[in-house]
Structure 1
Amino acid sequence: MNKEEQLIMGLRDLYNKIVFLNKFKMEEALKGYKPSEVHCIEYIGKNVEPNVTKLAEYFYMTRSAISKITKKLINKGVIESYQKPDNQKEIYFRLTEKGKEIYKIHEELHKGFHERDKVVFEEISEEQLDIMLNFVEKYNRHLDNKIKKQYKNISHKKSL
């Protein structure tokens, strides 16, 4: 296995361990909510004028899949939809008071996870962090370009 493969496998393994360690606390504290719903709540809580299109693009999901999630969240009373007076076409979402509570619980859990893992980051120099961040940014840009190209090709094939 070459170093690139080792890095990809290491990142995948790292991600899986983080998910595994966080899963039980998340499920316990956020009973009744699926991870996709919680992440949708988080996105709505952190972003200005979130709508189905923005959510779908962010999560790399179809607008139909996001519509299903947002309908469930509306039915659970954690988000509500609204329209702007000057744009009756577009539908946006915001958190309800109940949604803000879920958002806060989720944020507190992440603070706890950060505290748990802080010891690792304390051992890493600024220079090392900068190198890793630079790599992640480059890799993300590369994958973004591949996604755009693939999406463009899919869209083009559908129109034929």
Structure 2
Amino acid sequence: MDAYESINRVLVHLFNDIWELEEKAVITDEFKDLTNNDMHIIEAIGLGDGNNMSAIARKLNITVGSLTTSMNSLVNKKYAIRERSEEDRRVVYIRLTKKGEKAYRHHEEFHRKMVESVLENLEEEEIPVLTKALDGVYKFFKSYNN
């Protein structure tokens, strides 16, 4: 098998497997009311004082309208809350609740384990090469629809 075929096989299987495995790993009994999509929205909201809907939608590369439906669900499930800005009442900030922060940390732990499993199989000098290759894949996906 040549390099092209090997890389293509790995990339196709990797993306599919990560999505499936991540769902199995992060959607536990405690978080069975969440979807993988919900977890990524929770990740985009982040910890701290919160973000407005536009900033979260930009992080996820989706429209505010698409985000609104998912956000309604997360608010109803008590993972997030909406708070109006004191300075400009038109601006709504989204912040994670304690339950949402717990889900965020649970998802973050999966990502930490995933990255550690990759790093433990590499020599120190191989890490910049992998980083450069993955950055190239990332740039391809970011520019593909532009």
Query: Normalization by structure 2: what TM-score?
Result: 0.79
Backbone CA RMSD of aligned residues: 2.7
Q: What whole-Å deviation, never above 9, does each CA across 1:33-58 have from its counterpart, x for those lacking one?
A: 11111111122124764222222222
> Of 124, 138, 141, which aligns to 2:139?
141
Q: Write out aligned runs for 1:24-43 (5 A).
A: 24-29=24-29, 30-43=31-44
User: Partner letter of residue 123 of structure 1?
Assistant: N
CA distance in 2, matches of 1:40, 1:137: 22
1:69 aligns with 2:70: yes
CA distance in 1, matches of 2:22, 2:137: 25
> Of 122, 125, 137, which aligns to 1:127?
125
CA distance in 1, matches of 2:143, 2:109: 34
Residue aligned with 2:130, SS = helix
Q: Which runs of no fewer than 5 residues in structure 1 stay unpaired?
A: 150-160
Cα 1:123/1:140, change in 2 over 3 Å? closer
User: Partner letter of residue 26 of structure 1?
Assistant: V
Q: Compare the two structures and name the one with the higher helix fraction.
A: 1
1:19 aligns with 2:19: yes
Indicate the structure (1 or 2) with the bigger Cα radius of gyration: 1
Query: Normalization by structure 1: what TM-score?
Result: 0.73
